[in-house]
Amino acid sequence: MRVNRIKQCWQEKKTAINAWLTIPSSWTAELLAHQGYDSLTIDMQHGLIDYTTALSMLQAISTTETVPLVRVPWNEPGILMRILDAGAYGIICPMINNQAEAEAYVAACRYAPLGMRSYGPSRVVLYAGNDYLIHANDTVLLLAMIETREALENVDEIVSTEGLDGIYLGPADLSLSLGLKKIGDYQEPIMQEAIDRILESLRRQRKFGAAHATNPQDAVMLAERGFNMVTPAHDTALLEAGAKQALIQTRQWLSL
Amino acid sequence: MRVNRIKQCWQEKKTAINAWLTIPSSWTAELLAHQGYDSLTIDMQHGLIDYTTALSMLQAISTTETVPLVRVPWNEPGILMRILDAGAYGIICPMINNQAEAEAYVAACRYAPLGMRSYGPSRVVLYAGNDYLIHANDTVLLLAMIETREALENVDEIVSTEGLDGIYLGPADLSLSLGLKKIGDYQEPIMQEAIDRILESLRRQRKFGAAHATNPQDAVMLAERGFNMVTPAHDTALLEAGAKQALIQTRQWLSL
Amino acid sequence: MRVNRIKQCWQEKKTAINAWLTIPSSWTAELLAHQGYDSLTIDMQHGLIDYTTALSMLQAISTTETVPLVRVPWNEPGILMRILDAGAYGIICPMINNQAEAEAYVAACRYAPLGMRSYGPSRVVLYAGNDYLIHANDTVLLLAMIETREALENVDEIVSTEGLDGIYLGPADLSLSLGLKKIGDYQEPIMQEAIDRILESLRRQRKFGAAHATNPQDAVMLAERGFNMVTPAHDTALLEAGAKQALIQTRQWLSL
Amino acid sequence: MRVNRIKQCWQEKKTAINAWLTIPSSWTAELLAHQGYDSLTIDMQHGLIDYTTALSMLQAISTTETVPLVRVPWNEPGILMRILDAGAYGIICPMINNQAEAEAYVAACRYAPLGMRSYGPSRVVLYAGNDYLIHANDTVLLLAMIETREALENVDEIVSTEGLDGIYLGPADLSLSLGLKKIGDYQEPIMQEAIDRILESLRRQRKFGAAHATNPQDAVMLAERGFNMVTPAHDTALLEAGAKQALIQTRQWLSL
Amino acid sequence: MRVNRIKQCWQEKKTAINAWLTIPSSWTAELLAHQGYDSLTIDMQHGLIDYTTALSMLQAISTTETVPLVRVPWNEPGILMRILDAGAYGIICPMINNQAEAEAYVAACRYAPLGMRSYGPSRVVLYAGNDYLIHANDTVLLLAMIETREALENVDEIVSTEGLDGIYLGPADLSLSLGLKKIGDYQEPIMQEAIDRILESLRRQRKFGAAHATNPQDAVMLAERGFNMVTPAHDTALLEAGAKQALIQTRQWLSL
Amino acid sequence: MRVNRIKQCWQEKKTAINAWLTIPSSWTAELLAHQGYDSLTIDMQHGLIDYTTALSMLQAISTTETVPLVRVPWNEPGILMRILDAGAYGIICPMINNQAEAEAYVAACRYAPLGMRSYGPSRVVLYAGNDYLIHANDTVLLLAMIETREALENVDEIVSTEGLDGIYLGPADLSLSLGLKKIGDYQEPIMQEAIDRILESLRRQRKFGAAHATNPQDAVMLAERGFNMVTPAHDTALLEAGAKQALIQTRQWLSL
């Protein structure tokens, strides 16, 4: 079976650098897959991407060695199983608030006896190899999003879930849930405490941590704090910023 | 009928700033339509965009006041008429090398008696208004691409074509056709001469000039030389540059 | 943030007139958006419309001032959150039978502290404005469908749900659930009683009522009874009736 | 091979009643196929329909006995051959202005020795039967649109083209080309003369005539004048009229 | 209402032969619908098929008399109701492990008073006829998949569910759940016992049994054991085997 | 630039084995790309595949080392240039009947000074590498189809066209054009003569020959005759044959 390069990366104590895909297009997915990120995450929750588009994006990413991850729209067995069959080599599941939710998530993604994932790995067998069934439970990466006050309080139980590889920190929802003014601002002391608490739980239980950033500065700060994967890039945000900047610059220089 | 803001812009002696769309997605089209460019050009030639996708992008751009233009894949009456019916408020037609080609292009885009465009303006009536038939010949913008040695030699005849509003300078193909080493480099003296020749012809015949740039520096240079519309932004290029930059920056800072 | 014209309409004591979209097409959505209805509802339950098509229809409706509403396929957090991010300015949720279901529905659609909606308003920010997070809970319209005997019995509790703006009466399912012979017939005394009961509950709790009609006669009757929004038009039904009528008329006249 | 019911209809001296499809949707195509029209014409010229959508509409129409026709976007061999392979049982080709154009059109649609159509009838074999190659030249209906002054002058030569079954009168373009004020108005004396001239040519050469109408009144007039097929219905127009009418009626009654 | 030919087949004591569709394409669906199978099952669980594609496949199958069945992705009311409205004449629901799950499944698929299916049978009315509401509960086929140890233990309760027509045996997941080495191998004694147990329960309660096979040998064995429907064909597997075989044969003969 | 493995194969005097794709699906394209064929040809002429689908299939094939070829719908510059930009590493152009047509074809596919291909290699740069412009004229494979009597008579002139790599023999159309009873039957003496004539011309001018077969027997015969590439497999035909065979076998064994 094809190795999961993110897991390999972590075994080698390296920080994985991930980019976030929200544009529903196999073309932009293929374009970003060629930039050298360790992984790309197709965002089916807040991105504008449905199953059929996600499938085409998984194919596009598979033209390179970049690892295809998917953030699912919700902790629901149907979509979890289907996106794994379609070739996701890792899942980021939103809004895991307690151990019961974490266990339901993992059960849907692991074959028996660890879980209850239904067998029929259509496309992923082409990507992974014919021994997929044997190695899938060990190879596929499962991260639970910690992004509410409740999740933070239950972080130890969530992290301890058997079959779960680690967590993905969602700063926007976490700050909203914690009642903070600034959305997703890691500078807030309460956010820094949350980071401490999560990292401490991960280290104690030898699990992995990933965190959302949207810019290189935050990504580097998070990596230096100890997260194993950071996301400094978001396709829509990059395109918007670039287009805005080109227009402003042209207008400015023209008016000189 | 809805005014063509590009034509209006030119009557007010202002330079129009255009962005180039090659990503086949109504989402990125809508995103860029909100950035404030005067027009967006859907590139059906070198972009990855077919009729059905272009239609969805025309709808997305119509959520704003940005003028929707289309570069057609080729000078072929079928696609010219269909994309006008779909709501393009201007056309950029590639590889117009002589007056016969310019006349065929214009004929396909203008209603009788000026041309032979077939009547049936399905979607564009919603966008433009019910008096579309009366004003379309005056309102829809038609630009011919000058991008070969042959076109440069015939520039006066091309520009003189009745019903043609002006030209769009394609530097990449022009430099290739002229046998230059650097593709699309406006600094080349031969390119500068080509610009002179084109602008001189346009001024003499009171027609309009637009030019491709892909970055603000070139765009400003072209505007200052006298072009009425410049294109400093290209969606795929912006996204690629942004993603590359975010990765490089993150990697650099991490390795410090 | 862009005002919700349906809510505005209700503050001005006007009846909103809504049309129903079941054809999976951004073209027919755009066509109907230009007819002057106050709102259009994209029906993802009984219409033939999935997320990706709904997204394209939301874009098409946004070319006009008509308010885009969505009837979701089911009371499920994943689709509720995604369709709000995609630009729905109001939701009609089917089969809300008791207060627990109403609360779950509202929680998925309101940001903390009112609910648990996840933050990431991708497309809706373009439509609504950058202050979306601040005003969304007040601006987005949430209607619960009352369409079973159980719902009717629990109408007071459902209507009282905090964060819910009102209800949408579904006559077909209600009549089926009540065991009536004629499906969706408002003339049935039991249906009239149901209307009384619902309106009474809404008035007492100062919430809003909307009702499905499919023809102008019923729509006017419902408006006169006191509903704040009525739906006299259904795209598939209109097209079918028109096509049938044109054929019958042609055949009849030909055979004279 | 499956009989072409339109040709059969004509052999039985009956007038065929056709409806026009411009909405890019297999759902509306299937809906209209169930209304009882003799044929449906998928309009790839002024409709918003590309090849892939047309294919899905041909499948949808094939759920009934209604004959699927296609108006192609232009007289171009590539699309003519592909849409025949996809299952069109008849073609309406726009803007045939002289015999050379008519001959090129027919050549692209007929197998050798009559023409040069390339062999590879992928989907149409499922629809027509395995003996398609033997009978296709006789079964597939080919109509040339007469819709310009030039075409009118050359009507005899066009009609005489071997392998062409008849013509389809396009009143909008014809009136535009003839310089008439009202577009597509059959009441204009010049239009009536055009009808006479076309019908006279068809009768003399024993070919068939079809004519566009968009409403039952004109359709019946045209049938009574002698056309073998008339088109009283247009999907977008019917939907728009129905939606407008429902809104006006509701508003009127509400304001009483 | 159109008869359900699978139910008819069973009343006539015949074994129905079903093929499995996992390729997301209306073209391959139409192709297989012409081969003469009694039914085709669109697999929305392990196939690569989403709602919109399934809809187009249901249309394609409706060009023939082959009965369209759907395996849904999960036991979730939203998708169950929508796919029935889209024209599925039978459902195969995965992972029904106990009576509560079976009852929830049936409730979502049957109209009141038997269940709680919401009324609005958009496309299926075209396929089935206008009396759909009256006959749907009797005509639509509902099968529950027995594919876990738990389901096997609860088989009697599951089979006894009112409104459920029978079960569909899923050998791959069942063998996985039972801890067997070989996946989906009917030769395993434990699998043969499972078959006995299921068939015995079905006979006692006069319900129907269907079973997955993927090849003719197993299909015939299962039919001879007493299953009423067997699935000897799987589109992706057939295409893969055929392509592999053609390559191997060509290579072999070339190297002779 | 990525090497063209078909050209490499020919330099090593090996026969390339190609499969034919007519199913409009990136899934079946990816599946076949994993079977080990040297190349896959996406058939945009008789296949049911349009530009947008072809693009997704090119992406899917690029997940492997299999070389992606495209048969274009017609010898038209617009589609030739666009499909090369999309990533086709070779083109098969139908119905090249004389040298003028061959030259027009080659001109559209080669950059200046050899041809007039417009520059803008969007996706193919990701696939091929950043030096695409320098090597494309040498790397991209161009084959002209010989499939009419006229083409056979002009075979020497066609083969001699500068920039053309060789020909692709289309037996079905050739036999039809030659007036043979059996379509595409290589056993016909006239077909054998045609093969001789084509191979003789290719050898004399040191160009390459490819030939269509649809089954391994013919493919091997053609390879042994001297063709450098043969096509023993056709996706739709394989699927149809497999499905038919599975049904026949099941029915037969059941009735024993």
Q: Which CATH number belongs to the domain containing residue B145 in this structure? A: 3.20.20.60
pLDDT interval class at E97 (50, 70, 90): very high
CA proximity to F69, closest of F117, F140, F137:
F140
Whether the CB-CB separation of B172 and B38 falls below 8 Å is answered with: no
Q: How many domains are there within chain B?
A: 1
Look at residue F37 in the predicted model and tell me its pLDDT: 98
Query: Chains that contact E by 3+ CB pairs under 8 Å?
Result: A, C, D, F
Look at C23 and D24 and tell me if their CB atoms are within 8 Å: no
How close is the nearest chain D Cα to the Cα of F177, in Å? 6
Query: Chains that contact B by 3+ CB pairs under 8 Å?
Result: A, C, D, F
CA distance E80 to B235: 40
Look at residue E256 in the predicted model and tell me its pLDDT: 78
Burial of B5 (C-beta count, 10 Å sphere; 0-12/13-18/19+): middle
Look at residue C214 in the predicted model and tell me its pLDDT: 83
Taking contacts as CB-CB distances below 8 angstroms, the residues of chain F near A34 are 126
How close is the nearest chain E Cα to the Cα of C46, in Å? 5
CA distance D150 to A28: 48
- State chain B's maximal CA–CA distance in angstroms: 70
CA distance A167 to A141: 10
Give pTM, 2 decimals. Answer: 0.98
Query: 10 Å Cβ neighbour count for F142?
Result: 24
Instruction: Summarize pLDDT for A63-117 with one digit per residue, the tens.
Output: 999 999 999 999 999 999 999 999 999 999 999 999 999 999 999 999 999 999 9
- D90-93 and D67-71 strand pairing: parallel
Q: Which amino acids of A are annotated catalytic?
A: 46
Tokens representing C197 are 């009961």
Instruction: Summarize pLDDT for E165-186 with one digit per residue, the tens.
Output: 999 999 999 999 999 999 999 9
pLDDT interval class at F18 (50, 70, 90): very high
Query: Which three-class secondary structure state does DSSP give residue C236?
Result: helix
pLDDT interval class at B39 (50, 70, 90): very high
**From D177, which residue of chain B is nearest by alpha-carbon distance?**
B112
Q: What is the mean pLDDT of chain B?
A: 97
How close is the nearest chain B Cα to the Cα of D11, in Å? 32
Tokens representing D85 are 């392979």
- State chain D's maximal CA–CA distance in angstroms: 70
CA proximity to D143, closest of D128, D125, D158:
D158
Whether the CB-CB separation of D41 and D66 falls below 8 Å is answered with: no
Query: 10 Å Cβ neighbour count for F40?
Result: 29
C9, C17, C27, best to mutate vs chain D, most D CBs in 10 Å = C27
E51, E62, E63, best to mutate vs chain D, most D CBs in 10 Å = E63
Look at A176 and C50 and tell me if their CB atoms are within 8 Å: no
CA proximity to E143, closest of E71, E196, E221:
E71
CA distance E138 to E151: 25
pLDDT interval class at F185 (50, 70, 90): very high
Look at residue C256 in the predicted model and tell me its pLDDT: 78
Look at residue A214 in the predicted model and tell me its pLDDT: 83
3-state secondary structure A215-249: CHHHHHHHHHHCCCEEEEEEHHHHHHHHHHHHHHH
Look at F46 and D120 and tell me if their CB atoms are within 8 Å: yes
DSSP at A10: H
Look at F122 and B46 and tell me if their CB atoms are within 8 Å: yes
CA distance B66 to C124: 19
Tokens representing B169 are 């300078």
CB burial readout D99-110, b (16+ within 10 A) else e = bebbbbbbbbbb
Instruction: Report the pLDDT averaged over residues B173-190.
Output: 96
pLDDT interval class at F52 (50, 70, 90): very high
List residues of C whose CB lies inside 8 A of any E CB: 22, 24, 45-48, 50, 52-53, 73-74, 76, 79, 94-95, 147-148, 172-173, 176-177, 179, 183, 236
D21, D22, D74, best to mutate vs chain B, most B CBs in 10 Å = D74
CA distance F51 to F61: 15
Query: Chains that contact F by 3+ CB pairs under 8 Å?
Result: A, B, D, E
CB burial readout B114-144, b (16+ within 10 A) else e = ebbbbbbbbbbbbbbeeebbeebbebbbbbb
Instruction: Report the pLDDT averaged over residues C224-230.
Output: 98
**From A111, which residue of chain E is nearest by alpha-carbon distance?**
E176
Identify which of C45, C176, C236 has the shortest CB distance to residue E112. Answer: C176
CA proximity to D42, closest of D19, D65, D64:
D19
Task: For chain A, 256 residues long, give each residue's pLDDT as a single digit of tens.
Answer: 999 999 999 999 999 999 999 999 999 999 999 999 999 999 999 999 999 999 999 999 999 999 999 999 999 999 999 999 999 999 999 999 999 999 999 999 999 999 999 999 999 999 999 999 999 999 999 999 999 999 999 999 999 999 999 999 999 999 999 999 999 999 999 999 999 999 999 999 999 999 999 899 999 999 999 999 999 999 999 999 999 999 999 999 998 7
Taken as a whole, chain D contains a residue count of 256
pLDDT interval class at B185 (50, 70, 90): very high
F45, F93, F105, F178, best to mutate vs chain D, most D CBs in 10 Å = F45
How close is the nearest chain F Cα to the Cα of D245, in Å? 38
Identify which of C50, C119, C123 has the shortest CB distance to residue A50. Answer: C50
Radius of gyration of chain E (CA): 18
How many CA atoms does the CB half-sphere of D32 hold within 13 Å? 36
CA distance A32 to A26: 10
Taking contacts as CB-CB distances below 8 angstroms, the residues of chain F near B94 are 118
Decide if pLDDT at C169 tops 90.
Answer: yes
Instruction: Summarize pLDDT for E111-136 with one digit per residue, the tens.
Output: 999 999 999 999 999 999 999 999 99
Tokens representing F28 are 């079946």
Flag whether F touches B (3+ CB pairs, 8 A cutoff).
Answer: yes
Instruction: Summarize pLDDT for E4-44 with one digit per residue, the tens.
Output: 999 999 999 999 999 999 999 999 999 999 999 999 999 99
How close is the nearest chain C Cα to the Cα of B35, in Å? 10
Decide if pLDDT at B256 tops 90.
Answer: no
Does the annotation mark F46 as catalytic? yes
**From C119, which residue of chain A is nearest by alpha-carbon distance?**
A173
| β-bridge mates for residue F11, sequence order | none
> Is the ipTM, as predicted for this complex, more than 0.85?
yes
Taking contacts as CB-CB distances below 8 angstroms, the residues of chain C near E24 are none
| β-bridge mates for residue E39, sequence order | E18, E67
Look at A172 and C119 and tell me if their CB atoms are within 8 Å: yes
Query: Chains that contact C by 3+ CB pairs under 8 Å?
Result: A, B, D, E
Range of the domain at D144: 5-255
Identify which of B77, B79, B119 has the shortest CB distance to residue D176. Answer: B119
CA distance B158 to D43: 33
Question: Which residues does D81 contact at the CB level (< 8 Å), separation at least 6?
Answer: D108, D109, D117, D118, F45, F73, F74
DSSP string, C58-106: HHHHTTSSPEEEEE-SSS-HHHHHHHHHTT-SEEEES---SHHHHHHHH
Instruction: Report the pLDDT averaged over residues D123-146.
Output: 98
**Sign (positive or negative) of CA dihedral E75, E79, E85, E90:** negative
Query: Which three-class secondary structure state does DSSP give residue E138?
Result: helix
Q: What is the mean pLDDT of chain E?
A: 97
Query: Which three-class secondary structure state does DSSP give residue A18?
Result: strand
Whether the CB-CB separation of D22 and B61 falls below 8 Å is answered with: no
Taking contacts as CB-CB distances below 8 angstroms, the residues of chain E near C172 are 119-120
Taking contacts as CB-CB distances below 8 angstroms, the residues of chain E near C185 are none
Tokens representing F210 are 């490819």
- A16-21 and F16-21 strand pairing: unpaired
Flag whether A touches E (3+ CB pairs, 8 A cutoff).
Answer: yes
CA proximity to D144, closest of D104, D172, D176:
D104
Look at residue F256 in the predicted model and tell me its pLDDT: 78
